[in-house]
Amino acid sequence: MQGIQIKKIDDNFQRSLEINLPKPNLANNEILVDVRYGGLNYADLMMCNGSYPHPKGYPLQAGIEFSGIIVKCGSEVQKFSVGDRVAGFSENAGAFSEFLSVPEDSVTKLIDEVSLENGATYYVQTTTAFHLLNTIGKVQANDIVLIHAIGGGVGLNLTQLAKYAGATVVGTVGTSGKEKRPLECGADLVLDRTKQDFTYEIEKKFGKNPIRLLFDSTGAKILNSSFDLMQNLGHVISYGEASGKPYDNLWSQLVLRSLTFSRLHIGHINHQSEEWEHAQITIQELIKNGELKLFTEHIFSLKDFDSAYHALDSRKVAGKILIKIK
């Protein structure tokens, strides 16, 4: 079996395409997936370079997001059958391999109108955006929301879903040229942080303290510069720290306006819950009806994994990078 493996040699992390990996064993509650696409996420990069080590340790078969076709079911599997097309999230990684075994609760069946390519494109980013907005943020039609890194994959999904809910969407980008796609998705204002003082421009347009919901994957100075934009009782929701963790004065920033701070990791939501099921049904229906645009930036083969890695690491990508397994 072919797949991408990460090895730790002394303090160095190395990734390579291996051609003789063992085919995974199947527990009674698991399904065996013939993987067709893997979705590349920043968490994958961090596992590859050691900045976010996987708890399983190394060597590690890489990849956490996938789509494919079920080829075998364990004896206790109840919700799926051989031949079902699924997308999913693998806590134990291994998605960038030809076959993957995962618990049945780790996958969602794809409706006929959602392709395997789209399944791997939407699963982590769109599901994350949906829960950020609805499960955590409880977005309302009159909200003004601020999305940092609005030109990235989650940001584009947040934009569309927030507009679908009737909110006003403001966003920032850290790379010139990434403003275009969020505006095409309906964003009301997009600012380039490298050229503009985003706090000044937002208050100039919307008045003082206009933001009820802030979605941030940057951390550090960008997040800390945003607190003065928040309404009393506003909600700051973090889902990453691409530029570093927030300063130590986070608590003092929150108490000034009775703000709520949340941090979401998509793996912490119960995949058997009504919220999870509702999200998957809603997202797939939006895709089916053409009400949610998915942006696949590039599809790389397994042998070109390094090129995919560097493309995402460049931070110039405004969409999803997929790995075509077969």
Q: What pLDDT digit, counting tens, does each position of 240-296 carry?
A: 876 666 656 788 889 989 999 999 988 889 888 999 999 999 999 999 999 999 999
3-state secondary structure 4-61: EEEEEECCEEEEEEECCCCCCCCCCCEEEEEEEEEEECHHHHHHHHCCCCCCCCCCEE
> From CA 121, how far away is CA 319, in angstroms rounded?
9
- What does each C-alpha distance from 123 to 215, 293, 310 come to in angstroms? 19, 13, 22
Q: Where do the CATH 3.90.180.10 domains begin and end in the chain?
A: 3-123+276-324
Pairing of strands 99-103, 30-40: antiparallel
pLDDT of residue 247: 59
For position 243, what pLDDT does the model report? 62
Per the CB < 8 A criterion, the answer to whether 107 and 31 are in contact is yes
What's this model's pTM, rounded to 2 decimal places? 0.93
**pLDDT score of 98:** 98
CATH of domain 140-263: 3.40.50.720
The long-range contacts involving 158-163, CB below 8 angstroms and separated by at least 24 positions, are 158/129, 158/132, 158/133, 158/215, 159/185, 159/186, 159/187, 160/185, 160/186, 160/292, 160/293, 161/126, 161/129, 161/130, 161/133, 161/134, 161/292, 162/133, 163/187
CA angle 319, 123, 147 (to 5 degrees): 50
> What pLDDT sits at residue 221?
83
**One pLDDT digit (tens) per residue for the chain, 326 residues:** 999 999 999 889 999 999 999 999 999 999 999 999 999 998 899 899 888 788 888 999 999 999 999 999 999 999 999 999 999 999 999 999 999 999 999 999 999 999 999 999 999 999 999 999 999 999 999 999 999 999 999 999 999 999 999 999 999 998 888 899 999 999 999 999 999 999 999 999 999 999 999 999 987 788 888 999 999 999 999 998 766 666 567 888 899 899 999 999 888 898 889 999 999 999 999 999 999 999 999 999 999 999 999 999 987 787 899 999 98
Contact yes or no for 198/174 (Cβ under 8 A) = no
Residues of the chain with CATH 3.40.50.720: 140-263
3-123+276-324: CATH topology is: Quinone Oxidoreductase; Chain A, domain 1 (3.90.180)
Q: What integer pLDDT is reported at residue 185 of this predicted model?
A: 96
